[in-house]
Structure 1
Amino acid sequence: MSIKKNILQGNLVLQIIIGLLFGILLAVLVPPLARSTMILGELFLTSLKSAAPVLVFVLVMSAIANHKKGQRTNMSSVIVLYLLGTFLAGLCAVIASFLFPVTLSLLQRESIELAPPTSILEVMKNLLLNFVDNPVKALINGNFIGILAWAIGLGIALRHASEQTKVMITDLSNGVTYIVKIIIRFAPLGIFGLVASTLAETGLEVLWDYLRLLGLLLGTMLFVALIINPLIVFWKIKRNPYPLVFTCLKESGVTAFFTRSSAANIPVNLELCKKLKLHEDTYSISIPLGATINMAGAAVTISVLTLAAVHTLGIKVDIFTALLLSLVSALCACGASGVAGGSLLLIPLACSLFDIPQDVAWSVVGVGMTIGVVQDSAETALNSSTDVLFTAAACMADEPK
């Protein structure tokens, strides 16, 4: 019982750090043995690869099917701010990735022959064909665009279903989420295998790639938190946004950094909204909704890691495709699951824009999990603190002058 408790309830951040350190040590001290640990990484990535399509499908379908309408709030302003902030975050990440390109050490890349898209028209064609794909085929092949299309369609249709049906869909969503959480709990073993085997093959210089990638991610998130979000809030409330920005970062962002879960931080955000004397009819809806669709940090992660794969494989990207990635990363981010590392599971969707093979895309997910101790914490802090920030901005703009 104690072993099960440690696996399911132990400090995941500490466990990942331990797995990372042991992986480095094994690669340095016993390289032949380190190479054999690749099976652990492969098992972990394959488990994620199997669960992610089902997770995205049921989460999106459940969220839409259970959406309540009819309440009188200024939610339209909040949703506009959520979507605008997420899109601009993705755009900033794309620009930063071109200004400071990062490449990754991927074991598979040497044996891969790519046929990259030649124009934005080809990208749009592939996008439309994936959009109308058979749902079973989409789930089997990991076609996230088709999965999202069917999930949205079924979610809209099931909004008129009976309450018992909606409860069943919610229970199914919770069940799949629980399975993914169990898989994530084995991240320390998976990361141990990935780091040990990768370092044994490529050498310690790969650590520099990880540090550069992490620096780009954190730098972009800080820019969004301290420059982009304040500009959006100033546009909305026409006053100095920084007192509100720093309050949200301090009282919501710090807590979210350590919980690494927007959902787990909902009670903190509700209490902060009450403290700020915001409209309860607004924040009682906007905060839970924001934990699902307000994902600026996730948009940054998806864009940066996808373009890291693009740069690694030498794919040329035109400006229109880059702008499309900004939009797709925002849409992907809105579908990011509530579990730790949820945004990483949607990187294959963004990679599909550039015809990047699934094996490479999931190797990039593995890299993301390796740096996820810091990356996911910072991402969640940005996501969750912005829920309160934009809710407050919408409420303040609605106040009489």
Structure 2
Amino acid sequence: MSKSESKKSFFDRYFPLILIGGIVIGAIIGAVFGEKATKLKPLGDIFLNLMFTIVVPMVFVSITSAVGSMVNLKRLGKILGSTVAVFVITGLIASAFVLVTVNVFPPTANVTLPEAAEMAEAKTAGEMFVSSLTVTDFGQLLSKEHMLPLIIFAILFGLAMSICGGDESPVGKFFVNLNDIIMKVVSFIMMYAPIGLGAYFANLIGELGPELITDYGRVLIVYYPLVFVYMFVMFPIYSYYAGGKTGVKRMAKNIANPAITAFATQSSVAAIPVNKEACDKMGVPEDISNIVLPMGATMHMDGSVLSSIVKISFLFGVFDMPFTGVSTYAMAIVVSVLAAFVLSGAPGGGLVGEMLIVSLFGFPPEAFPLIATIGFLVDPAATMLNASGDAIASMIVTRIVEGKDWVKRKVGI
């Protein structure tokens, strides 16, 4: 039993390396064997089909159970309101930050997929608004093409569940358990991901040639420095707002452990205990950190917001579309923030957000593996920024709830 546990922990711990290894091996096979490597395409299609199948129940059940449990904390309404506001505002700031970057340093070299499907016809603003938020029939919610209406319906269902007993009600307990089951299914599917994505890339490189790899290299060159610049510029600004110079000093002294833990484990959830310890040392009250950190593990995703817009910009380049215009930028910001709010704290959870990007922008299905691979490649840095940002968010919420002098009332820290 302990052997199987150690095997499981080994796989979880080194999953990003295993996944990257699968992709690299697949790319090498494609480069060496060329057209012959396209015979591996069915193995890649199996992974894509499994992901497309699980994504709808995953989104609905995870959001319903989260909202149904969260809204029970009525006593901490101000904390919850402040927390959500901080998450959204920092997400918007991250969006503006990355938009400037991708316009100065485009993450793609305008490679066009030869078999790219035609993009959906442009809709009026009103049609796009209605079709983005709602569907005409319940059955349409069960399609991956209508991800945002599904999210909205799940939030409404979760709110109703909380009013009717929350996670202690029979339905609430059912959804909590069903969410655990679905996430376990996702973990099973993810065990196949190194083979599936490796086969996909063997086919892709066999068809398009190794030049596509250089585009991913460019994405990494753009994204990783972007994350560290954001941390060294925005984190001190946020901390100064939260607690002045003392807040900045406490942040700088205690932020390393959460950041390193999140980078190594690829999981914001795994970083919660270390984040909790950092918040205690920074003087954040327990009732605030106990709410902000778990919520932040799945909802506060500045690193994922940065990566979402990089992905969107990348796809625009791949499909030879200009990533310009106020409406395009606004849509990218909205989609990236929404995607961040539905990401899971576990490795691979960003696939939901990537599905949302493909769905809302009308990209063809073959776009999903491209940005899914980018997601895995940038996940260490994104998770590091996400998780360490939760501690910063806890400080900001404390400032809002307890006043700007809260940091002076904490002694001996």
Q: Would the TM-score normalized by the shorter structure come out above 0.5?
A: yes
Give 1:170 shift.
0.8
Q: Find the aligned partners of 1:321 and 1:353 in 2 and give their Cα distance.
A: 12
Structure 1 residue 262 and structure 2 residue 268: aligned? yes
The aligned runs of 1:173-252 (5 Å cut-off) are 173-239=179-245, 242-252=248-258
**Structure 2: stretches of 5+ with no match in the other structure:** 409-413
Q: Which amino acid aligns with 1:14?
A: L
Contact 1:85-1:229 within 8 A present in 2 as well: no
TM-score by length of structure 1 reads: 0.89
Distance 1:149-1:14 versus aligned 2 partners, 3 A rule? same
Q: Matched residues, percent identical? A: 24
Q: Find the aligned partners of 2:340 and 2:246 in 1 and give their Cα distance.
A: 28
Contact 1:298-1:333 within 8 A present in 2 as well: yes
246-255 or 374-383, which moves further after superposition? 246-255
Corresponding residue for residue 70 of structure 1: 74
Corresponding residue for residue 132 of structure 1: 134
1:292-318 residue CA offsets vs partner (Å, 9 max, x unmatched) = 211111111221112211222233442
Distance 1:320-1:247 versus aligned 2 partners, 3 A rule? farther
Corresponding residue for residue 411 of structure 2: none
Corresponding residue for residue 391 of structure 2: 388
Structure 1 residue 343 and structure 2 residue 350: aligned? yes
1:357-395 residue CA offsets vs partner (Å, 9 max, x unmatched) = 3x13323334325xx1x4111111111111111212333
Q: Which amino acid aligns with 1:83?
A: V
Q: Which amino acid aligns with 1:328?
A: V
Q: Find the aligned partners of 1:266 and 1:400 in 2 and give their Cα distance.
A: 22
Corresponding residue for residue 381 of structure 2: 378
Distance 1:79-1:256 versus aligned 2 partners, 3 A rule? same
Distance 1:129-1:263 versus aligned 2 partners, 3 A rule? same
152-161 or 234-243, which moves further after superposition? 234-243
Alignment partner of 2:146 out of 143, 146, 149: 143
Corresponding residue for residue 49 of structure 1: 52
TM-score by length of structure 2 reads: 0.86
Q: Find the aligned partners of 1:360 and 1:103 in 2 and give their Cα distance.
A: 17
Contact 1:22-1:192 within 8 A present in 2 as well: yes
Structure 1 residue 113 and structure 2 residue 115: aligned? no
Give 1:105 shift.
8.2
Contact 2:241-2:396 within 8 A present in 1 as well: no
Corresponding residue for residue 80 of structure 1: 85
Distance 1:142-1:51 versus aligned 2 partners, 3 A rule? farther
Give 1:111 shift.
4.4
Q: Find the aligned partners of 1:105 and 1:37 in 2 and give their Cα distance.
A: 26
Structure 1 residue 98 and structure 2 residue 98: aligned? no
Paired residues, number: 394
Contact 1:53-1:142 within 8 A present in 2 as well: no
The aligned runs of 1:283-362 (5 Å cut-off) are 283-316=289-322, 317-357=324-364, 359-362=365-368
Give 1:175 shift.
1.1
Alignment partner of 1:170 out of 168, 171, 176: 176
**Structure 1: stretches of 5+ with no match in the other structure:** none
1:42-67 residue CA offsets vs partner (Å, 9 max, x unmatched) = 11122112111221111111111111
Distance 1:94-1:391 versus aligned 2 partners, 3 A rule? same
Contact 2:303-2:385 within 8 A present in 1 as well: yes
Contact 1:348-1:361 within 8 A present in 2 as well: no
Contact 1:117-1:354 within 8 A present in 2 as well: no
1:219-271 residue CA offsets vs partner (Å, 9 max, x unmatched) = 33223222233323323333365434434541101001111111121111112
SS in 2 for 1:117: coil
SS in 2 for 1:110: coil
Give 1:353 shift.
3.9
Q: Find the aligned partners of 1:270 and 1:298 in 2 and give their Cα distance.
A: 21
Q: Find the aligned partners of 1:398 and 1:150 in 2 and give their Cα distance.
A: 41
Q: Find the aligned partners of 2:18 and 2:34 in 1 and give their Cα distance.
A: 22
Distance 1:97-1:251 versus aligned 2 partners, 3 A rule? same
Q: CA RMSD in A?
A: 2.7
1:57-109 residue CA offsets vs partner (Å, 9 max, x unmatched) = 11111111111223346444333222211221123223322222233788855
Distance 1:161-1:75 versus aligned 2 partners, 3 A rule? closer
Contact 1:177-1:339 within 8 A present in 2 as well: no
Contact 1:256-1:265 within 8 A present in 2 as well: yes
Contact 2:51-2:189 within 8 A present in 1 as well: yes
Q: Find the aligned partners of 1:58 and 1:115 in 2 and give their Cα distance.
A: 29
Distance 1:348-1:256 versus aligned 2 partners, 3 A rule? same
Contact 1:302-1:343 within 8 A present in 2 as well: no
Give 1:4 shift.
10
Contact 1:270-1:283 within 8 A present in 2 as well: yes
